[in-house]
A and B are shown apart, each in its own frame.
Chain A
Amino acid sequence: MSAYLTVEELDGLMEINLRHDWVFANLRELQETLDEIEPVAHRLVRFQCGALQNFDLAGAWILYERSMDFEEIGVKTEFENFRARHFKFLQHIIDLAAQKEYIPGFFDPKPHHYWRDGIRGIGANTIEAVDSVGYIARAVLDGIKRPSRLVIGETIRQVHATGAAAIPIVSVICFLMGVVLAFQSARQLEQFGANIFMVDLVANAILRELGVLLAAIMVAGRSGSAFAAALGTMKLTEEVDALRVMGLNPNQILIIPRVLGLVIALPLLTVFANAAGLLGGAFIGATVLDINWFAFTERLAITIQVNDVLVGLSKAPAFAFLIAVTGTLRGMQVKGSAEELGRLTTMAVVQSIFLIIVADAIFTVVYSRIGF
Chain B
Amino acid sequence: MDEQHQHVISIRGLVNRFGRQVVHDHLELDVRRDEILGIVGGSGAGKSVLLRSILGLHGPNEGDISVLDHPIRHHEPGPHKKWGVLFQGGALLSGLTVQENVELPIALHSDLPVETRRELAVLKIFMVGLDLTAASKYPNELSGGMRKRASLARALALEPKLLFLDEPTAGLDPISATEFDQLVSFLHANLDLTIVMITHDVDSLFSLCDRVAVLVNKGIIVDTLDELVKHPDPWIQEYFGDPRAVRARAAARRRSASRRGPG
Using a CB–CB cutoff of 8 Å, the interface residues on chain A facing chain B are 23-25, 27-28, 31, 56-58, 61-62, 65, 85, 88-89, 92-93, 96, 99-100, 102-104, 106-107, 236, 335-340
Q: How far is the CB of B257 from chain A (nearest CB, A)?
A: 26
Q: Which residues of B are at the interface with A, using a C-beta cutoff of 8 A?
A: 81, 93-95, 97, 99, 110-113, 115-116, 118-120, 122-124, 126-127, 131-132, 135-136, 138-140, 158-159, 190-192
Q: Which of A56, A57, A338 contacts B95 (CB 8 A)?
A: A338
Given contacts A25-B81, A336-B138, contact A100 B132 (CB under 8 A): yes
- A-B contacts, 21 of them at CB < 8 A, read A24-B110, A24-B158, A24-B159, A28-B111, A31-B112, A56-B159, A61-B123, A62-B116, A65-B119, A92-B190, A93-B123, A100-B132, A102-B119, A102-B122, A103-B132, A335-B140, A336-B140, A337-B95, A337-B138, A338-B93, A340-B94
Contact A28 B112 (CB under 8 A): yes
Verify B110–A27 contact, CB threshold 8 A. yes
Chain B residues near A88 (CB, 8 Å)? 190
Distance in angstroms from B241 CB to nearest chain A CB is 35
Q: When the two chains form their complex, are residues B94 and A336 in contact, meaning their CB atoms are under 8 A apart? A: yes
Chain A contacts of B99 at CB under 8 A?
107
Say how far A299's CB is from chain B's closest CB, in angstroms.
58
Question: Cβ of B112 and Cβ of A57 under 8 Å apart?
Answer: no
- The answer on a CB contact under 8 Å between A23 and B159 is yes
- For B120, the chain A residues whose CB sits under 8 A away are 58, 61
Task: Give every chain B residue within 8 A of A57 (Cβ-Cβ).
Answer: 123-124, 127, 159, 191
Residue in A closest to B127 when the chains form the complex, CB atoms = A96
The residue on B at minimum CB distance from A335 is B140
| Contact partner, A58, options B94, B113, B159, Cβ 8 Å | B159
Residues of A within 8 A of B192 (CB): 56, 85
Is the beta-carbon distance between B131 and A100 smaller than 8 angstroms?
A: yes
Contacting residue for B112 out of A27, A107, A339, CB 8 A = A27
Chain B residues near A96 (CB-CB < 8 A): 123, 126-127
Question: Assuming A57-B127, A61-B120, is B159 touching A337 (CB within 8 A)?
Answer: no
Min Cβ gap A294→B in Å is 58
Shortest beta-carbon distance, B66 to chain A, in Å? 21
With contacts A57-B159, A102-B122 known, is A338 near B94, CB below 8 A?
yes
